[in-house]
Structure 1
């Protein structure tokens, strides 16, 4: 059997990030920036007021600490207006964010005058009760970012805050790596639509629902969902059609040694299958050209795996990842195999660190967001004992639980920070068919190959499971490890 790390490395070696495209900011959320972006505008673009109050020359109210200074009010400066110059010895009422009048060098808060805050008629004069200093409550043009300064470096993930920064610095669009379009194909004559009547021997097609959701949760775009019968001809046609609008095709089922597994039938070479050699499968009637490489990976669940390419009608060789068909195997395989492939396609892997630029970028590191990268691993203690997979690395869905009464960490098995405790989500552990218990899973616990058993208090590594954001986010432990 092949180690999971080696299998994933071989798969990733055949992938390149998708070509960058120019997108409006509104369509770029969550993508990875493909080039450094300098400021096209200073931020702020002009010197403005940080408070609602009165724009003045500081020298005109310098004695206000000893006795109030009364200045005539020459006009209003609402946000968005271009004010008239400030005449010496006068004040102008000004709103937060409004451009500072020429000649003014300070803003006195309305609370430090005799005027009441809120919508009121413009007063003829204002009594200043606090002596301002030059620069008081003033935001200088470019004090955040100057014209031409770096705003974001290539490799930054375009979060809401990042897009806001780009907009404020004058950008209306960005060059970014697009979302990968993923086509989902489930195989099996026994599959029926969810909710449909269930003939004897049939099962609901839960894998297509699971894969479609995982694609979106991992930041990719769902291109299509289709299903194939258990014949090589049916699968070849479905794969070719799926590849037409996709950057990646992910299948579930049909990669084992069963007599009716369509992917292995499509390969048609049992010796090559057994040896893990690449095979070219052609169906001339369907116009299909599919390259496949199968492997037995030392993981539980998910031992039978495959990957290759499908030739689309436009001549593109679209990557194909073939997963086993049991639902827990699909979840584990997606998280450990498909997720890294999506990261490669969308420019999210191979970069890390914080406060650094790439290419020609420079300037203050604080202005450059962290690049996409793996989080530090998180570990936990087993609150229950469970069986392991012997010579295979085990990935078992777990949930966070209170510490068992009287339990303590076993000595000599590593250290954990603030101790977290986990237990399998189902009494049958990592059974690949236990789909109904998956919603309870908050992470995958990783048990190294060769571990004889997991005992209470033993340390395990955790891999986070993707899930949509929700109101209970704050109740969960901090983000967990990437694979």
Structure 2
């Protein structure tokens, strides 16, 4: 729930201390194991290329043709035989031009054929001289009887050979590849019109808390607006998930149980925010603990309290209620696992950057801080450590990672940064 600070929720119980905390890597592996069955063979579909943007490829794709499928010109110029080109260059008779898409006649000895970019190299030619290197440096008018002087040129110059990009029979794309514009363009260039992709997962998103009200409603004293629902739904949709959002669940266990149970048969994954720590009103924990789910503390700040398991046989993940904590949980655990298992979303770009100022971190935890990567390659912290600082999150373009075992980093020290 949004109002409960992690500092209080993390206290007490066997998961409160760092001695029993689970590592980030171990919890991510547990999330992978939980969701891996959703990658079953039957959970794929065939889509036309125009509908496959943003999906993950479910099968290897083998190139049915070579790219390029024929030797062609890399430049507008003259197709020549390098054997006709002595060291000092040569005056050659101009042959019939070769436009793109045409089947040219074989090149006769002592001739040069004007050729367009992408056009088929004539038989007998093995090089192309750019038109700007010719004398005169232009193509003659069609049908005229003319000559052109060209400099010496080695075989293969400005010729795109068959299969120089990709040979027929080679693997064009591996299963699990994220299908962006470049990947779809490659498939189209191979003559492929549809691909097998993983089905998009449907996620039930439940926000809990008596203190939470929806935006647009009156805000009584002691209440807060539901930022988590919009925050996490947006992140999930951006990651290619279909999201089913429920009404806000109160802190009454029987209500939450009925709410989730009514939706569980229709979804692939259940994600809750709030109610996973050690407090007296942790409703998600009350409903699920001991009934298919466990609740633990991960050695991470923010986002230490986590829930994982199943509810009525459906995979379940419980994220903390503070807004930054729930988004960091998504970025650290759910998003990379979806990328690794299903190829969608693409992994977050990771770069190395130098801190613009000192950073202090708890040595026993993996700390994730909000930051802004600057044009000069430095990264500046945005806001403090607290997990409720939404304005600082909205002003950030990166997550700064400080691994376990590091307590102080000086200005200029290098850190790993995930671009948002």
TM-score of the superposition, structure 2-length normalised?
A: 0.75
Q: Structure 1 residues 319 and 464 mapped into 2: Cα distance closer, same or farther (>3 Å)?
A: farther
Q: CA deviation at 1:293?
A: 2.3
Deviations 1:250-289 (A, max 9, x none): 211122355554323434xxxxx4xxxx31xxxxxxxxxx
The question of 1:383 aligning with 2:357 is answered yes
Match status 1:202 vs 2:223: yes
2: distance between equivalents of 1:346 and 1:324? Answer: 25
Map 1:102-251 to 2 at 5 A.
102-114=123-135, 117=138, 121-130=141-150, 131=152, 134-217=155-238, 219-230=239-250, 231-240=252-261, 242-243=263-264, 246-251=267-272
Q: Partner of 1:215: helix, strand, or coil?
A: helix
Q: Please tell me whether residue 337 in structure 1 is matched to residue 345 in structure 2.
A: no
1:49 and 1:344, CA in 2 relative to 1: closer, same or farther beyond 3 A? closer
Structure 1: how far apart are the matches of 2:155 and 2:353? Answer: 54
Aligned pairs, number: 392
Note if 1:70 corresponds to 2:88.
no
CA contact (8 A) 1:381 1:419 kept: no
Gaps of 5+ in 2: 1-14
Corresponding residue number in structure 2 for 1:359: none
1:44 to 68, 77, 80: 68
Query: 2:89 and 2:350 mapped to 1: Cα distance?
Result: 58
Alpha-carbon distance in structure 1 between the residues aligned to 2:377 and 2:75: 47
Counterpart secondary structure, 1:4:
coil
2:34 is aligned, of 14, 35, 38, to 14
Q: Is the 8 A contact 1:446 1:461 kept in 2?
A: no
Greater relative contact order (Cα < 8 A, sep 6+)? 2
3-state DSSP class of the match of 1:309?
Answer: strand
**Are 2:245 and 1:292 equivalent residues in the alignment?**
no
The yes-or-no answer on 1:55 pairing with 2:56 is no
What is the aligned partner in structure 2 of residue 437 from structure 1? 392
Within 2, Cα distance between the matches of 1:154 and 1:66? 50
Secondary structure of 1:83's aligned partner = coil
- Contact 1:64/1:128, CA 8 A, preserved across alignment: no
- Tell me: CA distance 1:463–1:241, structure 2 relative to 1, closer, same or farther (3 Å): farther
Change (3 A) 1:126 1:85: same
- Give the Cα–Cα distance (whole angstroms) in 2 for the partners of residues 67 and 460 of structure 1: 60
How far has the Cα of 1:126 moved from its partner? 3.3
Contact 2:348 2:419 in 1 (8 A): no
User: How many Å separate the matches in 1 of 2:182 and 2:339?
Assistant: 21
Q: Could you tell me how far apart the structure 2 residues matched to 1:39 and 1:437 are?
A: 47
CA contact (8 A) 2:58 2:342 kept: no
Q: Cα offset for 1:177?
A: 3.9
Say what the alpha-carbon RMSD is for the aligned residues.
4.1
CA distance in 1, matches of 2:342, 2:373: 35
Determine the C-alpha separation between the residues in 1 that align with 2:176 and 2:321: 35
Q: Distance in 2 between matches of 1:422 and 1:156?
A: 32
* Residue 457 in structure 1 maps to residue 406 in structure 2: no
Q: How does 1:237-316 map to 2 (within 5 A)?
A: 237-240=258-261, 242-243=263-264, 246-258=267-279, 260-267=281-288, 273=289, 278-279=290-291, 291-311=292-312
Question: Which whole-Å CA distance do the structure 2 matches of 1:466 and 1:421 have between them?
Answer: 11
CA distance in structure 2 between the partners assigned to 1:115 and 1:459 by the alignment: 57
Residue 206 (structure 1) shift: 0.6
The offset of 1:330, in angstroms, is 1.1
Give the direction of change, closer, same or farther, for the CA distance of 1:387–1:296 in structure 2 (3 Å limit). Answer: closer
Structure 1: gaps of 5 or more residues: 268-272, 280-290, 312-316, 350-371, 403-417, 468-483
Shift of 1:235: 2.6
SS at match of 2:146: strand
Structure 1 residue 42, shift from structure 2 partner = 1.3
Taking a change above 3 Å as real, the CA distance of residues 433 and 376 of structure 1, as seen in their structure-2 partners, is: closer
